[in-house]
Amino acid sequence: MTLVKYGWNETWERQFEPFRDKGLEPGRVVLEHKRMYRVITQHGELLSELSGKLRYEAEEREQLPAVGDWVAVAARPAEGRATIHALLPRKSKFSRKSAGVETTEQIVAANVDTVFLVNAMNQDFNMRRLERYLVLAWESGANPVIVLSKADLCDDVDAMIAQAESIGMGVPVHAVSVEAQSGIDELLPYVSAGNTVALLGSSGVGKSSLVNTLLGVEAQKVSGIREADGRGRHTTTHRELLTVPGGGIVVDTPGMREIQMWEASEGLSESFEDIESLAGRCQFADCSHNREPNCAVRKAVEAGELEEGRLANYRKLLSELAYLARKEEAKVKLQEKKSNKKKSQHSTTIKHRSHEVNL
């Protein structure tokens, strides 16, 4: 029953059968430390570490566990510890490029059913940032839901809902206020028994307050907003999986003001379906929607049917993805070169030893 509460079902059970034959037990990662994990199992929560084999064979960070992952562990309940030996295939993952110059993937949350894209309805409201989150949400495999928080601080709620709907392309939009306790009931169906919801948004948009309201307890620390710019103070410092009284699961995440793209070509097409549909009517297949003749996209902008800022953001995201693809291609070539060098060295060593044996 402990695992069912965290989303375990018959589908996961079938996937786990080969690991159970090896004497391993299932668990779900609820919290990730630098080199350790907290994993919920049938024995309760166990402090867990990776097996040497799993760590050695993982060529990319994506092949290691993240919050929300189901894993196969060798449990030592008497010690309150476990060793993670394998990772079950993910049904969804919300990823971004990790901070810094290195081109690596950071998985924010795995095996999520719904992504709450939380945006505050005060002066920090940002349509372009919301578009960026939508792209990555669609790419994740989870269902995006736009949650406009702090509705009590907004003078025209309907206008902001209309703005969000204009870029959401059919994505549900909900306006809520934790302070006024309004709109919360609309979110409850998403956190029904067995469903996992990840809350994503920039610092101080009210994610932790919303998590506390859904949980019915003060599970996450919250801070007020700064009067100077209306932005909330960053409170959550790590990703954590928490259970809702009704049976659902939520993942609160640290604020990400500048979220960088990661392999999101399909998500981009889904989020900017209006622009890509117009692009199909341009005279040139490779139209950049700048100064080319008979550009359907530019005509839509000039006619007021498409916002100039939305087109500019689309171009920016396309450019980011192209740059990321080039860096990733160069990285793969470098890894192949290193791998071939290792194989060559290994082959030379074997030949040398064989020669010594013959002598």
Give which of 113, 137, 133, 115 is closest to 125, Cα–Cα: 133
pLDDT (mean) for 190-209:
89
Query: Do residues 203 and 291 both lie within one domain?
Result: no
Q: Which residues contact 280 (CB under 8 A, 6 or more apart)?
A: 296
Give the pLDDT of residue 117. 93
- Do 116 and 242 sit in the same domain of this protein? yes
What is the phi/psi pair of residue 200, to 5°?
Answer: -125, 145
CA 220 to chain centre: 20
Q: Tell me the two tokens of residue 330.
A: 């160069």
- Terminal alpha carbon distance of the chain: 65
- Sequential DSSP letters for 197-252: EEEE-STTSSHHHHHHHHHTS--S----B-TTT-PBPP---S-EEEE-TTS-EEEE
Q: How many domains does the chain have?
A: 3
In terms of domains, do 131 and 81 share one?
Answer: no
Domain limit, last residue, from 72, 87, 102:
87
Residue with tokens 């044996």: 357
Residue 204: what pLDDT?
A: 80
CATH classification of the domain holding 97: 3.40.50.300
What does R_g of the chain's alpha carbons equal in angstroms? 24
* pLDDT recorded at residue 157: 92
Encode pLDDT of 336-358 as tens digits. Answer: 666 666 566 656 666 666 666 66
CA distance 311 to 327: 25
Do 200 and 133 form a contact (C-beta atoms < 8 A)? yes
Could you tell me if 175 and 279 lie in one domain? no
0.85 exceeded by pTM: no
From 34, 63, 87, the end of a domain falls on 87
Same domain, 229 and 155: yes
Mean residue pLDDT of the chain comes to: 82
User: b or e along 65-104 (b: 16 or more beta carbons within 10 Å of the residue's beta carbon)?
Assistant: bbbbbbbbbebeeeeebbbbbbbbebbbbbbbbeeeeebe
Least confident of 148-157, 224-233, 319-328: 224-233
Provide DSSP, 114-132. Answer: EEEEEEESSTT--HHHHHH
In this structure, the answer to whether residues 60 and 115 fall within a common structural domain is no
One domain, residues 10 and 156: no
Res. 133 pLDDT band, cuts 50 70 90:
confident
**Domain residues for 230?**
93-252
Name the CA dihedral angle for 210, 70, 29, 20, rounded to a multiple of 10 degrees.
140
